[in-house]
Amino acid sequence: MHIEFYGATSGITGSCHILRANGHLVLLDCGLIQGRREEEAGNREPFPFSPGDISAVVLSHGHIDHSGRLPLLVKQGYQGPIYTQNATGALCEILLEDSASLQRRDAEYENKWRKRKNKPLIEPLYSIEDARNALANMVGMRYREKKEILPGISIRFQDAGHILGSSSVEVWLNESGVQRKIVFSGDLGQYDSPILNDPAVIEEADHVLIESTYGNRRHRDRQMTIDEIGEIISSASHQHGNLLIPAFSIGRSQEILYFLGKHYDEWELDRWEVFLDSPMAIKASKVYWDYPHLYDEEATRLRRNMNEMPPFKTLHLTSSVEDSMAINNIRSGAIIIAGSGMCNGGRIVHHLKRNIAREGTHIMIVGYQAYGTLGRRLVDGEEQVKIHGDFYPVRAQVHTVGGLSAHADVDDLSRWISHFRNDPAVHVVHGEAQSKQDFRDRLEGELGFRADVPEQGQELEL
């Protein structure tokens, strides 16, 4: 029995690990590498295994850095099942098809300069059809349902509290009378996050693979964050402007809607019209509202009281381009939630062009903004920004609201791992180098575990 640490050991994207037992090869996640162009080129390198040799794939959650190379795997010959939590399967329908269209656009863009320089053209990494073939192979499971997926290999999904359907995966391997239990954390959420349950308690394992995205950082206090959102809405209201919220379609958009519903009276939201202006976020929200049995107690109560989700009246779902363009005429009293989360594309860019030079406009940044994106330039306080080739003065007030991360911080990670009682070996994956080292030190120091940081491609006998 072996585990081989493959993707997501040298960074935080492209999660993929390989388990070998009983003559079978099982893949844990098959994520896309996301980052700089040089790093993303790694997606085109051959897999370190033959896709046809894999017996089963187990997917922890829908995010593309965990699921995004499944269509490629299927394109290259994998025909077996992809086991995942039911809601993850539903979100993947949205995410993988979107990823395929991004791949097509990327290839078109790349081929423009290749043509000019007489270089050979490239194919998109995969097509919508490949994505649909991968989706057709998905086998949905419920949380806490234990299933033997191959002779001697069983799995069980436990709620990871990160996005809807996100799971930590328990894997039992049996080979020649020896049993080993592996737990793969997947991406873990924060405790007490909106809508979702806390990460489930797991107490036993021989080996634990734990993510470490925030292995050395603490998030801001949640209550302070919520108070701040209320204050921003109130000052936007006094200044008779619009409030723009760039947000990722899956997870963050639903959290924002949930907060707006929960604090509807307190934040006097009947003075506002709220627009969810993103076809992808609208589809994802429908999946969120379709899985109420996955909610935590508070969300369940809110839903019951209002008999709907999200629990408020002034919400407009604007899928069509016409409906979206009609928002342009509103000069005050609109809360507009749109993608992309980092303002580097999507409908939010059009709303920024319309509103950014107006004094009363407020922009609320609720997610991470990568270097080089328009969102980052707004966070950095640039006085004018270039959008679609034109310069716009930034007269809007830009607020950066921390504390809404979908990821566990170092205290959450420590709390989750502390439930293990039988001294498992802990392998720290899925984080930047420093974050992994720091969390390993914490595991070995105050938490008292045996811990290491596996190298890319490292094999471990179980």
**Chain residues in the site for Zn ion (CB under 5 A):** 63, 187
Taking CA atoms, 247 is separated from 103, 267, 337, 345, 349, in Å, by 21, 20, 6, 12, 12
3-class SS letters over 69-117? CHHHHHHCCCCCCEEEEHHHHHHHHHHHHHHHHHHHHHHHHHHHHHHHC
Query: At closest approach, how far in Å is the CB of 14 from Zn ion?
Result: 12
Whole-number minimum distance, CB 160 to Zn ion, in Å?
9
What the block records as the tokens of 312 is 């408020």
**Complex with Zn ion: residue 21 or 28, whichever CB lies closer:** 28
State in angstroms the smallest separation of the CB of 187 from Zn ion: 4
Place of tokens 């960074």: 11
Closest approach of Zn ion to the CB of residue 251, in Å: 8
Return d(Cα 332, Cα 240) in angstroms, integer: 5
Q: How far apart are CA 27 and CA 55, in angstroms?
A: 8
**Residue 161 or 454 with smaller CB distance to Zn ion:** 161
Min separation Cβ 449 and Zn ion, Å: 23
Six-digit token string for 160: 């990871």
Shortest Cβ 168–Zn ion spacing (Å): 12
- How do beta strands 82-85 and 56-58 pair? parallel
In whole angstroms, the minimum distance from the beta carbon of 369 to Zn ion comes to 17
Question: Looking only at Cα atoms, what is the longest distance across the chain?
Answer: 72
Give the per-residue SS3 of 49-71. CCHHHCCEEECCCCCHHHHCCHH
C-beta of 63 vs 347, nearer to Zn ion: 63
Q: CA 338, CA 211: separation in Å to the nearest integer?
A: 29
Distance of closest approach, residue 63 Cβ to Zn ion, in angstroms: 3
Closest contact distance (angstroms) between CB of 3 and Zn ion is 21
Q: Could you please report the per-residue DSSP string of 315-342?
A: EEE--SHHHHHHGGG--SSEEEEES-TT
102/107 with CB nearer Zn ion: 102
For residue 387, the Cα-to-chain-centroid distance in whole angstroms is 26
Residue 378's closest CA among 348, 337, 405, 342? 342
Pairing verdict, β 390-393 and 384-387: antiparallel
ω before 340 within 30° of 0 (cis)?
yes
Residue 355 vs 435, nearer CB to Zn ion: 435
CB of 252 to Zn ion, least distance (A): 12
User: Where on the phi/psi map is residue 47: left (φ > 0), alpha (ψ -120 to 50), or beta?
Assistant: beta
CB of 189 or CB of 279, closer to Zn ion: 189
Give me the least distance between CB of 60 and Zn ion, in Å please.
8
- What gap in Å lies between CA 123 and CA 87, rounded to an integer? 31
Compute the distance between CA of residue 77 and CA of residue 67 in angstroms, rounded to an integer: 17
- Based on CB atoms, which residue is closest to Zn ion, 187 or 438? 187
Residue 98 or 187 having the CB closest to Zn ion: 187
Judged by beta carbon, residue 54 or residue 64, the one nearer Zn ion is 64
Cβ proximity to Zn ion: between 187 and 412 the closer is: 187
Helix, strand, or coil (residue 392): strand
Of 170 and 187, the one with the shorter C-beta distance to Zn ion is 187
Distances (CA, A) of 100 to 66, 92, 135, 218, 364: 15, 12, 12, 35, 30
- Output phi, psi for 116, to 5 deg: -60, -35
* 331: three-class secondary structure by DSSP: coil
